[in-house]
Amino acid sequence: SGVPDSRPCTSPSFLPCQYHRARSRAFIHIVLVSSMAERLAAVPELSTTSFTVPSPPRGSYRDLIRSVGVSGGLVRPSPYSQSGHSGSSGNSTASSSYLSNSGISSRSASDATTDFGANELTVITHRMFSDGYIERMVQAFESGGDPSRELEKWLFELDVEWVLQVREGHGPRRQLQFLFQVQLPYKSASWLQELVGRWILAFIIILVSIEKVAFTVQDMPTVARFGKASISAMLVFVDAVIPVLKEGKLQAMLDMYACVSRASYYFTTLVGSPEAHSIFNEIDGLLEIRGNMLSEAISSTMEEVRTLMEDDDSWAIELPRGGGDVHRNTRCMVDYVVSMKKARASTLNSALSHDPVYLDGLIDDTMDYLKDLLLRKSELFLDPSLRYLFLLNNSYFVAQVVSGPSAECEKYMDSHLDVSWGNAVSSLYCKPKSIFGTTLLCCWKWDNTSSVAKFQSAFHKTYQAQRFWKVPDPQLRCALRKIITKRIVSAYRNYLEEHPEQQKYVIDGNSSPECFEKLLTELFEG
């Protein structure tokens, strides 16, 4: 959506709450459909064969489309779907502003719809078709005397007649500012995303309308010409909006890219006369040009994001202070990747053969860059234990939300255990010992001090240092506590069983294995 979100991503432990979100979406859908049914009842039923029957009042379908609406900027429904932190000064502020303007959030345009067949837009389009309205518009466009006037009427009903005001010979920013003043006089903070959202709604209805009427009107070339005029008018907006969207509206670009790419599939499935086929091919060519333009804009935007994240001052300011939590830049990059994956899913059936490959490559490149960025920025930590905790938190977050289980998480967990707790375990032995698969060279030399006392001292030192460190994900926090208990406390317990003479150093139970286990349950709460 276009509403800024102080925390772009939800917790990676999202599986338990999917059921509740699904129920919520189902409830919203029922309410929308119920409300729409009441609105549809107000539109008179018309014959699909008699073109002498008066049309519904001007704006009837427009009102229905607006009832679906644009939530917080970007459009909620998308039939093509398959399925914040405060910044610091300097570059941090600039990048934070740029990223917050991206339009990315946990609820984007391609995330809110379940089934295309049950979508509100499909309900509206079906009503327009069953009323005979679409067929009348096709006929009027062909033989009504003034095709441009009929096209304006059609686009008005779709709530996008303003695309005709985007004239050639004017700069994109001037064109859009004009639309802003004329169409959105209430000065919406997300006016550009709202225009994009309204464009997407109309674009979807146009595609479905052409597909429906193509199977009922015998004069296929007429349908093709009407479709080309409609699509061409809509694509002028793409030309105007791309330069402005490059400034950070990545979600809007992805939504438009998904629509344009997916549209090619519709026209390749339509069959008819050679003339109609030729026109549909022309439409496909127009769509492919805009798809390429949008893909280039998306790639350019991601390059800008990389540069901003690379130069963000918050890394150097926050990390040395001990911030081992999931960094806000990690959350932003994950949001981008999730949005690109959704856009890719919606273009799988696209006739543009390069779409899945293009987005796959961009997603892979972004993931590789993020992993490398985190590894390099982690070197800013002065404490190696905190460095590996930072890498663990961030890599686990990425794995949970985007990529699934990762061997890197296990590697960083083992490294954190080695540098944090290795001295405690090694103090129980008088010679170097391989612990967690790593040979420790820092084993203390044997002296008259009890090995148990050394272990207790090292344990409490590490515990006090890490007591208020944070592992935000509850599943990871629990797993990390368990593995520390298993490897550290178990080694201590086994040593006491093997050396009963050392029991005298376990004073009043305060240094017992059970006591240490209890202390570990307090770690990583932040």
Cβ neighbours of 269 (radius 10 Å): 12
Residue listed under structure tokens 């959350």: 331
- Check if the beta carbon of residue 476 is closer than 8 Å to that of residue 483: no
Above 70 in pLDDT, residue 304?
Answer: yes
Tell me the mean pLDDT in the region 242-247. Answer: 77
Tell me the mean pLDDT in the region 242-264. Answer: 83
- CA–CA separation, 94 and 87 (whole Å): 9
Above 70 in pLDDT, residue 172?
Answer: no
Cβ neighbours of 428 (radius 10 Å): 22
How far CA 104 is from CA of 157, 338, 372, in Å, comes to: 29, 9, 23
- CA–CA separation, 50 and 47 (whole Å): 6
Above 70 in pLDDT, residue 441?
Answer: no
Sequence-distant (6+) residues with CB within 8 A of 331 are 7, 8, 9, 397
- In this prediction, residue 479 carries a pLDDT of 94
Mean pLDDT of the chain: 75
CA torsion through residues 180, 184, 190, 192, sign: negative
- In this prediction, residue 249 carries a pLDDT of 81
Residue of higher predicted confidence among 347 and 378: 378
Tell me the mean pLDDT in the region 499-522. Answer: 84
- Nearest CA-CA partner of 342 in 268, 258, 407: 258
- In this prediction, residue 452 carries a pLDDT of 87
- Check if the beta carbon of residue 271 is closer than 8 Å to that of residue 288: no
Sequence-distant (6+) residues with CB within 8 A of 277 are 271
Tell me the mean pLDDT in the region 109-128. Answer: 59
pLDDT in tens, 65-114: 888 855 433 333 333 333 333 333 344 444 444 444 555 443 333 333 33
- In this prediction, residue 67 carries a pLDDT of 83
Which of 1-5, 53-57, 374-378 is predicted most confidently? Answer: 374-378
CA 375 to chain centre: 23
Q: Percent of the chain, pLDDT > 90?
A: 40
- CA–CA separation, 369 and 333 (whole Å): 10
Tell me the mean pLDDT in the region 149-163. Answer: 93
CA 324-326-332 angle, to 5 degrees, is 145
Give the pLDDT band of residue 173 (cuts 50, 70, 90). Answer: low
- In this prediction, residue 12 carries a pLDDT of 32
CA torsion through residues 239, 240, 243, 247, sign: negative
Tell me the mean pLDDT in the region 40-54. Answer: 44
Name the pTM for this structure.
Answer: 0.73
CA torsion through residues 102, 347, 106, 10, sign: negative
pLDDT-wise least confident of 63-77, 268-282, 306-320, 421-435: 63-77
- CA–CA separation, 261 and 291 (whole Å): 6
Tell me the mean pLDDT in the region 212-216. Answer: 85
Taking each continuous run of H as one helix and of E as one strand, the counts in the chain are: 20, 2
- In this prediction, residue 178 carries a pLDDT of 61
159: exposed, middle or buried (Cβ count in 10 Å: 0-12, 13-18, 19+)? buried
**The tokens of 244 are what?**
């402005």
Q: Which uninterrupted H or E stretch holds 438?
A: strand 438-439
- In this prediction, residue 373 carries a pLDDT of 96
Tell me the mean pLDDT in the region 112-132. Answer: 69
- CA–CA separation, 317 and 339 (whole Å): 29
Q: Which uninterrupted H or E stretch holds 439?
A: strand 438-439
The domain segmentation of the chain, as residue ranges, is: 18-95+102-370, 406-520
Give the residues across from 435 on adjacent strands: 438
Above 50 in pLDDT, residue 267?
Answer: yes
- Rounded to 10°, the helix 407-426/451-466 angle is 140
Above 80 in pLDDT, residue 472?
Answer: yes
pLDDT in tens, 412-436: 999 999 999 998 998 887 554 445 5
- CA–CA separation, 114 and 118 (whole Å): 8
Q: Which uninterrupted H or E stretch holds 435?
A: strand 434-435
- In this prediction, residue 223 carries a pLDDT of 93
